[in-house]
Amino acid sequence: MKRAFVFPGQGSQTTGMGSDLVKAFPEYVTYYDRAAEAVGEDLYRIINSADDTKLTLTQFTQPAILTTSVIAYEHTLKTTDFRPDALAGHSLGEWTALVAAGVLKFEDAVRLVHLRGKYMSEACPPGVGTMAAVLGLEAKEIEEVLSDFENICLANINSPGQIVISGAAADFEAVETALNAKGAKRFIRLTVSGPFHSPLIESAKINLKKEIDLVHFNESKLPIYQNVDAKPHTAPEVIKENLIRQITSPVRWTEIIQNMVNDGVNEFYEIGHGGVLSGLIKRIDRSVKREQFDKFSKE
């Protein structure tokens, strides 16, 4: 039996996430204090504000999710006998995995994902790029259609029949028509601040690389299945390079889960707020055990 911890990415956030845990265990608020010093904003206040405007800004969403997930990870270690044999995270969630594996210090990770969000938002002018979820087609079928659209690409290969595409907003009406003709069941435009995981945000990759190169990365204590190639890595230089490539490359979540299962993982624990990843894992492989932090942490 092998166990994996998986960490959610952007889109899992909600107002008040993690606050019940902090109220029950006030010592965890120190993580938000440390994060506030790193990014110059009170993330706990942003998370618990009735107005979620700031929480929806990528440069605050990303460190808020990471901090909440790190607290969930620490709480899991303290209150259960669950220990992971492998780690993975969906896009932003990969950074939480780095903290859990001892690759990055918490403060360094918070500061870098704050900049990651900032650079990603600034990389493409508002309205120029966007994203959409395509349901009912497989990645290869979508790629066949996208071969006619130079400025649109696969962004998230989430599960069989659930793929996200990213790119130039001007082409999305035409690509929607083409995908529907191919047999797509639904085409859902996403409310995002940019065309993430696409070449249109190349400048974000360049800017983040400069910051990442200044930070020390340790050897990972556990194999981390990374987004860009869905393979396990522990070497710091490889992990660092894959993080940079991730900005403009697709998230290969389906392959990550399949590779983990092939390597003997049969229990998955979603560590963080919500159950997005548990739902995706169920679609990828119904035979494996799936547990959500929000459920087992209340037991």
Residue 75 is a catalytic residue: no
Q: What tokens does 66 get?
A: 């990471």
- The active-site residue out of 69, 91, 159, 249 is 91
Residue 114 is a catalytic residue: no
Smallest Cα–Cα separation from 166: which of 179, 180, 152, 181?
Answer: 152
- The active-site residue out of 197, 220, 233, 278 is 197
Active site residues: 91, 197
